[in-house]
């Protein structure tokens, strides 16, 4: 698949997603000539191992991007807003995991299984979508192509690691405290106790009392699918799971799709695994996502309340496909499509 080798920068290289980006690049044998791990100035001088070789972490600044072909960013919105244009100025193509560029009309928002063709119009920066949106559109794309989706109602069950290391650490610490003392003094990662609890609140509340996370799913889905007519309503919930987002998705289509037809379409879709045998208690669960890259779909059944409706249960690893893996897949697509250059 690959011929030329590339210098790849990872910004936020020591963070949860940045570390997974490094592991993903190694696991997928990305054609790397040089890995350049970049992070905050305080981390400069630390080392990371990649393919049996130690690389020194550098402070992320404009000079650090000299000679970098592809820069994978996972350092937060402020860092991306400041540093991504500087990386582009040095000749790198940026794949950014923050939210800052996602709805910029000049920046393609890409899930390779869904809209890789949008990469052709990049001007140096490609946005990586929100984790909950990524797995949903991977499952929706084959159904939309076959029957055109009119409306989506989605409820998410999102793992604590979606809030970063502090989120997963909060679940660990609170669970221990609750089991030992029967109470949690104060959550260090969330608005309320997350151990043995569910919180229907991810990100800040906005207009009409929907959260920013819920609006992300609405707006990003329409942009990725290149169809603003798709109506999406979302309720996003944080649940006491370390890894693996789950989603209950109800769709209404223009054309009738039976559950059997939907299963066949999904089973044939790229990087989708159907796990759906109710008689054997087989369906996707976050536990299954720990070491998987695929998006898993199950509980596929017709909505008996409308003529053209389906229900799906979708699970994926939010740190892998929801962040690091999707970014690396975008980089792979850029290489394959010979778009590793700044126009």
Angle (deg, nearest 10), helices 325-336 and 16-27: 50
Residue 141 and residue 266: Cα distance in Å, rounded?
Answer: 9
CA angle centred on 116, ends 114 and 121, rounded to 5°: 135
CA atoms within 13 A on the CB side of 90: 20
Cβ within 8 Å of residue 16, ≥6 positions away: 161, 164, 165, 168, 319
Please report which residue ranges of 77-232 form alpha helices under DSSP H.
Answer: 77-89, 112-115, 131-147, 165-181, 212-224
**In the block, residue with structure tokens 């989708």:** 272
194 CB-near residues (< 8 Å, 6+ apart): 160, 167, 170, 171, 174, 187, 238, 240
Residue with tokens 């893996």: 325
Closest of 308, 264, 314 to residue 294, by C-alpha = 314
Nearest CA to 320 among 212, 245, 235, 253?
245
Q: Which residues are catalytic?
A: 131, 245
């Amino acid at each position: 698949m690959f011929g030329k080798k590339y210098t790849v920068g990872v910004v936020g290289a020591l963070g949860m997603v940045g570390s997974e980006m490094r592991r993903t690049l190694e696991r997928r044998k990305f054609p790397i000539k040089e890995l350049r791990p970049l992070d905050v100035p305080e981390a400069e001088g630390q080392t990371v191992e990649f393919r049996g070789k130690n690389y020194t972490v550098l402070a992320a600044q404009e000079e650090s991007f000299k000679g970098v072909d592809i820069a994978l960013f996972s350092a937060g919105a402020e860092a991306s807003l400041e540093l991504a244009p500087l990386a582009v100025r040095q000749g790198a193509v940026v794949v950014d995991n923050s939210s800052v560029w996602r709805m910029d009309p000049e920046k393609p928002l890409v899930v390779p299984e869904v809209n890789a063709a949008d990469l052709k119009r990049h001007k140096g920066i490609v946005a990586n979508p929100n984790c909950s949106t990524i797995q949903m559109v991977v499952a929706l794309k084959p159904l939309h192509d076959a029957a055109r989706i009119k409306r989506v109602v989605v409820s998410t069950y999102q793992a604590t690691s979606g809030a970063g290391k502090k989120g997963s650490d909060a679940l660990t610490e609170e669970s221990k405290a609750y089991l030992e003392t029967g109470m949690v003094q104060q959550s260090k990662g969330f608005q309320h106790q997350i151990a043995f609890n569910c919180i229907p609140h991810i990100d800040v509340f906005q207009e009409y009392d929907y959260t920013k996370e819920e609006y992300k799913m609405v707006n990003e889905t329409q942009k990725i699918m290149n169809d603003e007519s798709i109506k999406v309503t979302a309720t996003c919930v944080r649940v006491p799971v370390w890894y693996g987002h789950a989603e209950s998705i109800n769709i209404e289509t223009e054309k009738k799709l039976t559950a059997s037809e939907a299963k066949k379409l999904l089973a044939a879709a790229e990087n989708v695994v159907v796990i759906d045998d109710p008689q054997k208690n087989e369906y996707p669960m976050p536990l299954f996502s720990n070491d998987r890259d695929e998006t898993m779909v199950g509980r596929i059944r017709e909505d008996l309340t409308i003529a053209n409706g389906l229900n799906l249960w979708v699970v994926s690893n939010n740190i892998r496909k929801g962040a690091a893996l999707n970014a690396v897949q975008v980089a792979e697509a850029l290489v394959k499509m010979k778009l590793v250059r700044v126009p």
